[in-house]
Amino acid sequence: MSHPALPAADASFATALAESARGPDRDGVFALWLVVRAALGAAPPLAAPARQVERLKALTARLRSLNPPAPLRRSLVAAIADLTTTRGAAPSVVLQHLVAPATECLGRPVAEAVAAAARAARPAPRAG
């Protein structure tokens, strides 16, 4: 089962990847896309804690082979740490913290895709 916001995020990042030049910018878009997918996977009600920890370990290993711009790299490492800890920030907050470095390093269209994913990852308000 996947998060309902995933198709829109995938489409936005696929477009950004196609438009970015090889090098740190493309690596940055790809790395950010991977982290957005991981955060959406951790968003309620989809989170399975044991599986999520395995996914984040695999994501960390994959990100080591990429070379995103330095400000974005630091933010991605912090995001993964927040998603990994049991008392870490909610996925929507983690994604919201990635908007500014995405804007700085990769441009507004990519940052808007991250912001949309952050809004989609917010837990639904409780009725009652």
**What is this structure's pTM?**
0.87
The answer to whether 78 and 70 are in contact (CB under 8 A) is no
In a domain, 128, yes or no: no
In this structure, of 35-39, 41-45, 55-59, 60-64, the range with the lowest mean pLDDT score is 41-45
- Indicate the pLDDT class of residue 47, thresholds 50, 70 and 90: low
Nearest 5 degrees, angle CA 36-CA 106-CA 98?
A: 40
In a domain, 125, yes or no: no
In a domain, 127, yes or no: no
Read off the pLDDT of each residue in 15-36 and give the average, rounded to a whole number: 92
In a domain, 97, yes or no: yes
In a domain, 65, yes or no: yes
In a domain, 113, yes or no: yes
Q: Give me the number of domains the chain comprises.
A: 1
In a domain, 122, yes or no: no
Q: What is the DSSP string of 25-62?
A: HHHHHHHHHHHHHHHHHHSTTS--HHHHHHHHHHHHHH
Range(s) of the domain holding residue 20: 6-117
Q: How far is CA 97 from CA 63, 70, 118, 127, in A?
A: 18, 15, 9, 28
pLDDT in tens, 11-25: 888 999 999 888 999
pLDDT in tens, 70-105: 999 999 999 999 988 766 668 889 999 999 999 999
Measure the CA dihedral 78/48/8/32, to 10°: 20
Give the model's pLDDT for residue 45: 61
